[in-house]
Structure 1
Amino acid sequence: MGRDAPGPGPHQIPGLLRLAVTDPLRSLYQTVSRYGDVVEAPIAPGRSFHLFTRPEHVEHILVARQSRYGKAFTYRPLQEWIGLGLITSDGELWERQRRLIQPLFSYRRVAALEPLMVTAVRRMLDDWDRTPESGRVVDAAVEMSGLTLDIVGATLFGADLSGDRDRIFHAVETLQDAVTKVIRNPFTWVSTTMARYTSPGFRSWDRAIATIDEVVSRVIAERRARPADDGAPRDLLDALLAARYDDGSAIDDKQLRDEIITFFMAGHETSANCLAWTFYLLSTSPHARERLEDEVDTVLAGRTPEPEDLDKLVWTKAVLSESMRLYPPVWTVERDAVEEDEVGGVRVRPGSTVVVPPYLVHRHPGVWENPEAFDPERFLPPRSTGRPKYAFIPFGGGRRGCIGNVFALMEVTLALAMITQRYRLDLLPGFDPEPKVTVTLRPKHEMAMLLHRRSR
């Protein structure tokens, strides 16, 4: 079997843990700068963390040898929030749920939801139009969160969630903070329950979960009270209620709740962050934004985009890809080794946790030229030709790759194109957003941006 990887000694671990808790991204950077592309850190007796950052490592762990790895123990706190949905479940339960749900996210089904996405974006833009000139400053993170919540409510659940925006936004923020505190608590390695009740603010966690549960329960109850007249699914919730396992049984109420909350959170939070970071990056790159405006104006010619337009919005999608490269929707992926393995010549023992952070993979200097720069052209030929497939993993990879990637890409592409048709967003002077490292990469503070109505 392979060699042991370089890494910090036991006496260095306390300092490493302190930095990982206070500044995870800096901790990652310092670790790979000191030890290289593969790092091993003995965190506790019988448990090591292995950090892998090269595309071939990603392919090995998430694709080629994925059967040797299960969901990491670091996902356990998330289970207390969203239950055992597709993100957090494993083994037979995950296999069963994936088979049931995969067909619901086919391109044909998602494309049928496009008019509802368009309506939600248009409603937000119309609200912006009514904003007086003197008050045209918005928090882009909050605006995009509201937009994607409207889209998720309408397309996945056939519900108007606009009245729940503020409390859902704050509940998700509270839960992200709480989950992050629990994950970083060393008691997590012993007991998630112990970690939860020794982490600050756990009572606010309970209140936030109750808020999300109340909204989801209401949506499900309303749907059961008014089934579709012709029995044809109107949205994901209808499709889930109608879906049947191989034995002919339907999804039970507990599993339905867990999957709904999973889609509710994943479909709302990650897309909102992607769009917020995209507008920030465009405000720093006038050339990229002008090219985006030219493409949108040429391809759409002032009309509402349709699914068949998306393949023509080449630069638009390159901008979004570059945004997700710099600020990936999920910044780290962890797996627990269930079998002995060798990755990049390094031995991985059963029980070890492997960490594959898209945030670092997307910035590997051996793959990406000038990796910290915002440069959408890197996603166009000829520069994109020959790049390793797993150098860019905004939706993960392998069988556990994000099931909603088609939905998410259609959603953010339509939103970016429609907003660009009507508005420019400029970051206010003096504001320099930085990521808040929780389950996702949210902007740490408000992303104050000035709205400019475009004239064409």
Structure 2
Amino acid sequence: MATAPPPASRRTAPGPKGGLLWGNLHAFQADATGFLMETASRYGDISRMRFGPFRAYLLNSPEYIHHVLAKNASNYDKKTRSVAQIKETCGDSLLSANKPAWQRQRRLIQPVFQPKYLETILPAIDVELDLMLDRWRQCEREGRPVNIVAEMLHLMIRAAAKMLFSSSVDARRIEDALAIILDDTWRRLQAPVDPSFISPHFHRRSFKRAKAEIDSVILAILRERRDSGGNQDDLLARLLTAHEAEGDMRLSDAELRDAAVTLLLAGHETTANALSWAFYLIARSAPGIAAPYSPAQIFAETLRLYPSIWIMERRAVGPDHIGGYHIERGSMMLMSPYVLHRHPHLWDRPDEFDPGRFHDDGSDKGAKGRYIPFGIGKHKCVGLHMANMVAHRVIQSVTQLFQLKLCDGQTITAEPGITLQHKHPLLVTLTAH
């Protein structure tokens, strides 16, 4: 006689077994996006896995992701290994804070990113963009290729500094420090054991030096601004005067530092990566691919295929049930825009570059919740308007002036880390229109 199935709320989700000691950790380390794509394909929209002592669930359904990030968000927090490691660089910022610290920072910082205000800082972006385009014209005349990855990083660091601080910075200092910080943070996240988990004193010297370099840039600008009492109308000025109606909730110096570091690093890094992928997709396509579409459509489709924030993590504060399966207290919930955006039941020809999937303004033509490059719910990225505004400006300016073509003999590989990066340089040749 057949045994009755267990109650729906106690059923265990299926998933890959993995090794006895570290579970699925080695498969994830070897090819993170490939492992998650295969897991979702084989086991469905909710799958159970293990990374050493940590139990995790991969959610690949708009309904399930909305449940964790919005509908039942009170049962899920950011006390995860990934956030703990990001906090080492960005402090108690919007990326890492839980309630009530997150709510306080969101209330103070969100007004800084209103679209109407952001339009006033476009001239600062145009200055840096024009300098880049002048270099590209020279490269085109001389027949020299340009490295899109390096160019986008350099452009976005300098543009971010202008938008945030109304000043220039040594872009190379920040680029070099940022590369070390991001690489080391991702290394620690994949390591089952690392001395820095015990104490920050055990961080590698290279990470400590890179963090100190970033801090020296930010803190020097903060000191100069406070001492000068200038009247600049940039993002820093608005952060310095951010307060609630009562006026008693001003950001402390530590909070200002954390906010500035987060906006400089997270804002410029994610947008630079996305722009690099956009120009890769344009350059590998047939000539004139960009002509029928708006920059918004091109950027939206780029973020579908190569979302900079390719994975998100939350911790289950208490038990729950999702899709008829039991979720244990303390479980880690993984949600990957990279995997969701390639779901064959949600997207037609999911691996193809087709900007026509989106409306002229970049909005999704399909079902709500299947497209989440900036997250969803209350934690939706506060900088999404700025990222879109900057990206549209850059894509439009470049495609109006040049036709891009990939140089031969390159290996183009997406490298998942803290963000979805290019593993190698991206060289393109330019032809003036």
Taking structure 1 as the reference length, the TM-score comes to 0.87
Query: Residues 171 and 212 of structure 1 are in contact (CA less than 8 Å); yes or no, is this contact kept in structure 2?
Result: yes
Show the counterpart of 1:300.
none
Distance 1:415 1:282 in 2: 13
2:97 pairs with 1:97? no
CA drift of 1:85 comes to 1.0
2:91 pairs with 1:112? no
Show the counterpart of 1:23.
31
Aligned letter for 2:45?
A: D
Show the counterpart of 1:36.
44
CA drift of 1:119 comes to 2.1
Aligned letter for 2:387?
A: A
Distance 1:142 1:249 in 2: 39
CA drift of 1:291 comes to 4.9
2:322 pairs with 1:343? yes
Show the counterpart of 2:272.
272
- Count of residue pairs brought into register by the alignment: 422
2:180 pairs with 1:174? yes
User: Counterparts of 1:267-416 in structure 2 under 5 Å?
Assistant: 267-286=267-286, 290-293=288-291, 315-380=294-359, 387-416=366-395
Show the counterpart of 1:252.
252
Structure 1, gaps ≥5 residues long: 296-313
Structure 2, gaps ≥5 residues long: 1-8
2:185 pairs with 1:187? no
Distance 1:131 1:282 in 2: 19
CA drift of 1:196 comes to 8.7
Aligned letter for 1:61?
A: V
2:69 pairs with 1:70? no
Query: Residues 64 and 322 of structure 2 are in contact (CA less than 8 Å); yes or no, is this contact kept in structure 1?
Result: yes
Distance 1:444 1:399 in 2: 32
Task: Choose which of 68, 74, 87 in structure 2 pairs with 1:79.
Answer: 87
Aligned letter for 1:391?
A: R
Percent identity between matched residues is 33
Show the counterpart of 1:55.
62
Aligned letter for 2:250?
A: A
Query: Residues 240 and 251 of structure 1 are in contact (CA less than 8 Å); yes or no, is this contact kept in structure 2?
Result: yes
Task: Choose which of 390, 407, 417 in structure 2 pairs with 1:428.
Answer: 407
CA drift of 1:33 comes to 2.9
Distance 2:94 2:314 in 1: 15
Q: Note closer, same or farther for the CA distance 1:13–1:7 as it changes in structure 2 (3 Å cut).
A: farther
Query: Residues 154 and 160 of structure 1 are in contact (CA less than 8 Å); yes or no, is this contact kept in structure 2?
Result: yes
CA drift of 1:376 comes to 1.1
Aligned letter for 2:325?
A: V
Query: Residues 436 and 442 of structure 1 are in contact (CA less than 8 Å); yes or no, is this contact kept in structure 2?
Result: yes
Query: Residues 85 and 259 of structure 1 are in contact (CA less than 8 Å); yes or no, is this contact kept in structure 2?
Result: yes
Secondary structure of residue in 1 paired with 2:338: helix
Distance 1:195 1:152 in 2: 28
Secondary structure of residue in 2 paired with 1:155: helix
CA drift of 1:175 comes to 1.0
Distance 2:331 2:71 in 1: 18
Secondary structure of residue in 2 paired with 1:113: helix
Distance 1:136 1:208 in 2: 32
Query: Residues 185 and 418 of structure 2 are in contact (CA less than 8 Å); yes or no, is this contact kept in structure 1?
Result: yes
Task: Choose which of 183, 203, 206 in structure 2 pairs with 1:204.
Answer: 206
Secondary structure of residue in 1 paired with 2:394: helix
Secondary structure of residue in 2 paired with 1:86: coil
Query: Residues 182 and 195 of structure 1 are in contact (CA less than 8 Å); yes or no, is this contact kept in structure 2?
Result: no
CA drift of 1:365 comes to 0.6
Query: Residues 187 and 195 of structure 1 are in contact (CA less than 8 Å); yes or no, is this contact kept in structure 2?
Result: no
Deviation per residue, 1:281-322 (Å, 9 max, x gap) = 0112125xx2534x6xxxxxxxxxxxxxxxxxx622111111
Query: Residues 37 and 53 of structure 1 are in contact (CA less than 8 Å); yes or no, is this contact kept in structure 2?
Result: yes
CA drift of 1:371 comes to 1.0
CA drift of 1:9 comes to 3.3
Q: Note closer, same or farther for the CA distance 1:20–1:228 as it changes in structure 2 (3 Å cut).
A: same
2:236 pairs with 1:228? no
Query: Residues 52 and 58 of structure 1 are in contact (CA less than 8 Å); yes or no, is this contact kept in structure 2?
Result: yes
Q: Note closer, same or farther for the CA distance 1:44–1:432 as it changes in structure 2 (3 Å cut).
A: closer
Show the counterpart of 1:238.
237
Distance 1:370 1:194 in 2: 47
Show the counterpart of 2:4.
none
Distance 2:306 2:364 in 1: 22
Deviation per residue, 1:233-292 (Å, 9 max, x gap) = 5111001111124552421111110000000011110111111111110112125xx253
Secondary structure of residue in 2 paired with 1:317: helix
Deviation per residue, 1:389-438 (Å, 9 max, x gap) = 21111101110110000011000001110111212222101113111211
CA drift of 1:43 comes to 3.6
CA drift of 1:155 comes to 1.0
Distance 2:399 2:20 in 1: 49
Query: Residues 337 and 350 of structure 1 are in contact (CA less than 8 Å); yes or no, is this contact kept in structure 2?
Result: yes
Secondary structure of residue in 2 paired with 1:329: coil
Distance 1:77 1:384 in 2: 33
Secondary structure of residue in 2 paired with 1:286: coil
Show the counterpart of 2:215.
213
Distance 1:375 1:195 in 2: 45
| Higher mean C-alpha deviation, range 27-36 or range 172-181 | 27-36
Distance 1:91 1:385 in 2: 31
Distance 2:280 2:19 in 1: 41
Secondary structure of residue in 1 paired with 2:290: helix
Deviation per residue, 1:169-209 (Å, 9 max, x gap) = 12111111100010011126x97246994x8xx22111111
Give the number of the structure whose residues are more often helix, by fraction: 1
Query: Residues 187 and 194 of structure 1 are in contact (CA less than 8 Å); yes or no, is this contact kept in structure 2?
Result: no
Show the counterpart of 1:299.
none
Show the counterpart of 2:171.
165
User: Counterparts of 1:124-163 in structure 2 under 5 Å?
Assistant: 124-131=132-139, 133-134=141-142, 136-161=144-169
Aligned letter for 1:237?
A: L
CA drift of 1:217 comes to 1.3
Distance 2:109 2:344 in 1: 38
CA drift of 1:126 comes to 1.8
2:428 pairs with 1:449? yes
| Higher mean C-alpha deviation, range 254-263 or range 70-79 | 70-79
CA drift of 1:135 comes to 5.1
